[in-house]
Amino acid sequence: MTKKEYILDCLVDDDEAKTQIMEYFKLFKIEITENELDFLLKEMLTDGLIIINQQWKNENNEYPYTLTKKGRYIWRTIY
C-alpha cells in the first residue's frame, strides 16, 4: 500500500488528528517524517479525499481529518 492508502485506512473508522496518524504509521513500522505527512495530507485535502473536522480538537490542539465520500470510495477500491 502507498502512504496515502495507509492514511485512508487510518481514517476509515474514525476521525484522527495528525498525531494519531503518525502513531498509525509507527504501528505498522512505516517510516514517515512529519514534513512528508504534512505534504500528503495537503495533497489529499486538495484532491478532495479528506477534510478537516473543525468541530473539536484533540489534547494536542489539533483538528482531526475526516474521509470524504470520494476518500471512502478510494479506500473501498483498495480492499
- Which domains, ranges and CATH numbers included, belong to the chain? 3-78 (1.10.10.10)
CA 69 vs CA 25, 32, 49: distances in Å: 23, 26, 8
pLDDT of the residue at 79:
75
- Statement: residue 5 has pLDDT above 90: yes
pTM of the model: 0.95
* 8-59 tens-digit pLDDT: 999 999 999 999 999 999 999 999 999 999 999 999 999 999 999 999 999 9
Q: How confident is the model at residue 7 (pLDDT cuts 50, 70, 90)?
A: very high
